[in-house]
Amino acid sequence: MSRPALPWSRALRTLTLAGMASAVLAWSALAGAETAGDRAVEAAKKYAGKTITIVWEAGLQSLDPQKFSGPLWEKLTGVKVKVIEVPTAEMFTKIMQEYRAGTGAYDALNVIPAWMPDLVQAGALEQLDTYVDKFGFRDELQKIAPTYRDNQMKVNGKIYGFPDDGDVFVMYYRKDIFANAGLKKDFKAKFNYELAPPTTWKQFDEIGNFLTEKLKKEGVYGAAFFREAPYAMFMFEERFRNEGGRFFDANTMKATVNSPIGVKVLTEMRNENRFMPKGVEKFGFVDNLATFLKGESAMTISWPPYGRWAAGYLADEKALDWVPKSKIAGKVGYALPPGGHPELAAGFALSVASTSKQKEVAYLFIQWLNSEEISLQRTELPYSLRDPFRTSHYSAPSYLALWPDAKHYLATLKQASETGLLDLSLIQTDKYEEAIRQGIQRLWAGDDPKAILDEMASQWDAVTQKVGVDRQKAVYAGWAAKSGAYPK
Amino acid sequence: MASRGGTARFADRNFPLLLVAPAILILLLVGVFPLAYLVVASFQGITMTDNDKSFQGLVNYIQLFHDPRLWTSLLHTVLFTAIALPLELLLGLALAQLFLDKMPGRSVFVGLLVLPVVVSPIVAGATWSLLLDNRFGPVNQILGWVFGREMPLLWTINPELVYPAIILAEVWQWTPFMFILLLAALASVDRSQMEAAAIDGAGYWRTFFRIVLPAIWPVMAVAVLIRGLDLFRIFDVVWALTQGGPGMRTETISIFTYIKGFQQFEISYTAAVAFLVILLLSGLVMAALRRVELSR
């Protein structure tokens, strides 16, 4: 037999029910948002009218938030996005300067993963684990391609950035040249193996020399690379490790970059310039791209956008007016660079600035950007320079349909990501990198490779001493234990 | 009454000081505060990852003396100054002599000659970077026509060409500065003295060294001092052309300071370097001013 409820208990029950109903409604609103992207949008709607500021690489890259993701986010949530364009070389400086000033001028950031230990150590990046759990992003993070997910997201086991760019070096070659019957025959006769994309640097040297000899009169060189120090630095890091080099003695933390392997790599790099276009020492990203797209080099190595542009993908896009029209569309093959372990050069991760005054909405924006659905759309933008980085991107039907050879392109990118090598990342990484860049410049200036490497090792040792041998040793041990640090 | 009179006299005497006090205070804030802050920071241990503001003694100053890169960059700076400054002075003086006399189109030529000075140094550096480009730059093309063969010179990579390239750009931009100052100075030289010297049989060089040079010396000294200081701080042109490379071959003290401070965030060490440069330059300026007797 039930007793009649007392008035206060009825009120309490009503309140409890109302509370439960609100909670259910709120949860169902988020739960109704089935994807992490949707959840970010739903949660960000309460910030409508606010403006968040994001630091983005200057140039083509920033057209993504300016023309696509920024306006779309504003349409969905009412939150405006202000883009601060910063040249890559200055991004670290600007982020650190802002952090030091503590004005809260930046909310979200693009950071190169190799910088993350330094930025975290300085306190410039916000730890994201709490947000990831609060807004249910952990499952989708697991779907990022393992190389990027496992190596470019965390510092000391905590999440500080979402890997957002599948940067990796790929070899692009001219299928028509490599399939030329006359060249194949002559090459086989001279070297006793088939003319095919090189798998070792010795083969690269022989093929490059051979093709230049045969095709130079037609204005085609065997190969061309970007040789400016900031780019060649990555190539040196890649080749040195592919040849079996180790950056440091793990026990003493003494630099071992000046080993015979280092000398061999630098010597070969300089010798290769002989069969490349004159002045290749000054080639940057665009010079090398133009040379390849005009059909003036048979092989090159670069980041993934080369492959898309060489295929002529959206060549009429206004933002890509500056890219030379590809004369080699349909003739481009994709392969791993010699050695088979390409550099996962640079890359970008999305982070939240620790000095931001609106961290939650900044976080929601990067979760949405990085989500399965939106990230795929962004990697398909012809001008964004963001490359496939989620497992699903490599097999996305929409991507596969972009140009006839997209299937091979994506397969190569996937393979490259699986075997790729991480950029060196320690405390004060830039000081180590600066020594490599200076070494590369000296190489092109004609200095002795051994002397260059001895000086490089000496500079590295000095930095290590200054940071603290034991401290750096621990960081190096952590980095070297990662799957992409050295070829397995 | 006596006391009131004394107060009034005191107020009268100090009223002008009160009037200038705000300006002096602002000058102190703008000029002295950053210097004081710099000195304080140079005795601390602030780095990229460590905001250590505790007193570290002379650690950073001792490091200065054990940093070969610093002294090499200082040497490069002195080298640039020692080569570019006399070149700018001599060319500026020669141009000023040339344009001293009236000639058709003089004002147009003078206007055109002065144009490089109004260009931002970083733009001048970028312009020269294009001019000296090994493939598309007109300099190599012109040299190619002159020598009748392809001249793919790597001006910003070849160790034998980087200094000429930077000095060429620097002299191109700043010779007009010398020119315009010296032209004004030459125009103000007393003609009657020169005419008297000519009547007395003095030749061109004798007149120049005995009459013209002493007359333009104060202006010339100031021009040299200003350009010398500018050259000691040379950054933009070098940055645009070589960024201090190849290796560290063209790294100047300003580039070294920038890299240490804004790329590697060695804040306290950079403060010590900056203070060293301030001391060096202050010493040079004072010596130079004493030399030209302008300090009085």
Q: Tell me the pLDDT tens digit for each residue of B96-138.
A: 999 998 888 888 999 999 999 999 999 999 999 999 998 889 9
Predicted pLDDT of residue B4 = 63
Q: Tell me the pLDDT tens digit for each residue of A401-420.
A: 999 999 999 999 999 999 99
Nearest-CA distance from B154 to chain A in Å?
Answer: 7
From the list B133, B79, B134, the residue with the least C-alpha distance to B249 is B79
- Structural domains of chain B, ranges and CATH numbers in brackets: 2-33 (no CATH), 65-291 (1.10.3720.10)
- Whether A34 has a pLDDT exceeding 70, the answer reads yes
B247/A439 touch (CB, cutoff 8 Å), yes or no:
yes
With an 8 Å Cβ cutoff, the interface of chain A facing chain B consists of 92-93, 96-97, 100, 118, 121-122, 229, 278-279, 281-282, 287, 427-428, 430-431, 434, 438-439, 441-442, 444-447
- By mean pLDDT, which of A36-45, A165-174, A268-277, B5-14 is the weakest? B5-14
| Three-state secondary-structure class, residue A111 | strand
Length of chain B: 296
- Rounded Cα distance between A332 and A416, Å, is 17
**Which contacts qualify for A316-320: CB closer than 8 Å, 24 or more apart?**
A317/A382, A317/A383, A319/A60, A319/A63, A319/A67, A319/A382, A319/A383, A320/A60, A320/A382, A320/A383
- Whether A30 has a pLDDT exceeding 70, the answer reads no
Q: pLDDT band at residue A5, thresholds of 50, 70 and 90?
A: very low
| Three-state secondary-structure class, residue B267 | helix
**Residue A278 or B13, more confident:** A278
Best mutation target, B47, B248, B264, B268, to test chain A (most A CBs within 10 A): B264
Span A315-344, mean pLDDT? 89
A438/B159 touch (CB, cutoff 8 Å), yes or no:
no
Buried b (16+ CB within 10 A) or exposed e, B124-161: bbbbbbebbbbeebebbeeeeeeeeeeeebbbbbbbeb
Other beta carbons less than 10 A from residue A52's beta carbon: 26
- Rounded Cα distance between A290 and A28, Å, is 53
Vertex A104, ends A103 and A108: CA angle to 5°? 145
Q: Tell me the pLDDT tens digit for each residue of B193-229.
A: 989 999 999 999 999 999 999 999 999 999 999 999 9
CB A101 within 8 A of CB A93: no
Q: pLDDT band at residue A14, thresholds of 50, 70 and 90?
A: low
Q: pLDDT band at residue A3, thresholds of 50, 70 and 90?
A: very low
- Rounded Cα distance between B296 and B292, Å, is 10
CATH entry, A36-166+346-410, from 3.40.190.10, 3.40.50.720, 3.90.1300.10, 1.20.1440.120: 3.40.190.10
Q: pLDDT band at residue B238, thresholds of 50, 70 and 90?
A: very high
Selecting from B134, B247, B248 the residue whose C-beta is nearest the C-beta of A282 gives B134
Q: Tell me the pLDDT tens digit for each residue of B241-294.
A: 999 989 999 999 999 999 999 888 899 999 999 999 999 999 988 888 887 765
Q: pLDDT band at residue A59, thresholds of 50, 70 and 90?
A: confident
Q: pLDDT band at residue A13, thresholds of 50, 70 and 90?
A: low
Nearest-CA distance from B133 to chain A in Å?
Answer: 9
- Whether A7 has a pLDDT exceeding 80, the answer reads no
A97/B158 touch (CB, cutoff 8 Å), yes or no:
no
Predicted pLDDT of residue A464 = 97
- By mean pLDDT, which of A13-17, A201-205, A368-372 is the weakest? A13-17
Helices and strands, number each (H, E), in chain B: 14, 2
Span A432-452, mean pLDDT? 96
Q: Tell me the pLDDT tens digit for each residue of B49-86.
A: 778 888 989 999 999 999 999 999 999 999 999 999 99
- Which residues of A are less than 8 Å from B68 in CB distance? none
Sign of CA dihedral A242, A247, A250, A254: positive
Q: pLDDT band at residue A322, thresholds of 50, 70 and 90?
A: confident
- Write down the mean pLDDT value for chain B: 91
- Rounded Cα distance between A380 and A367, Å, is 18
- Rounded Cα distance between B53 and B44, Å, is 5
Predicted pLDDT of residue B289 = 83
From the list A102, A73, A68, A70, the residue with the least C-alpha distance to A84 is A70
A445/B48 touch (CB, cutoff 8 Å), yes or no:
no
Span A260-277, mean pLDDT? 97
Closest-approach residue (CA) in chain A for B69: A459
- Whether B17 has a pLDDT exceeding 70, the answer reads yes
Predicted pLDDT of residue A488 = 85
Predicted pLDDT of residue B51 = 81
B159/A427 touch (CB, cutoff 8 Å), yes or no:
no
- By mean pLDDT, which of A89-98, A202-211, A467-476, B171-180 is the weakest? A89-98
Predicted pLDDT of residue A25 = 45
- Whether B186 has a pLDDT exceeding 50, the answer reads yes
Nearest-CA distance from A434 to chain B in Å?
Answer: 10
- Whether B3 has a pLDDT exceeding 70, the answer reads no
Nearest-CA distance from B296 to chain A in Å?
Answer: 42
Q: pLDDT band at residue A354, thresholds of 50, 70 and 90?
A: very high
- Which residues of B are less than 8 Å from A438 in CB distance? 245-248
Closest-approach residue (CA) in chain A for B50: A122
Domain boundaries, chain A: 36-166+346-410
Best mutation target, B136, B248, B263, to test chain A (most A CBs within 10 A): B263
B48/A438 touch (CB, cutoff 8 Å), yes or no:
no
Best mutation target, A118, A120, A121, A282, to test chain B (most B CBs within 10 A): A282
Tokens of A374: 């939106």
Q: pLDDT band at residue A24, thresholds of 50, 70 and 90?
A: very low
Chains A & B: contacts with CB separation below 8 Å: 65
Instruction: Give the rounded percent of residues in chain A with a pLDDT score beyond 90.
Output: 85
- Write down the mean pLDDT value for chain A: 92
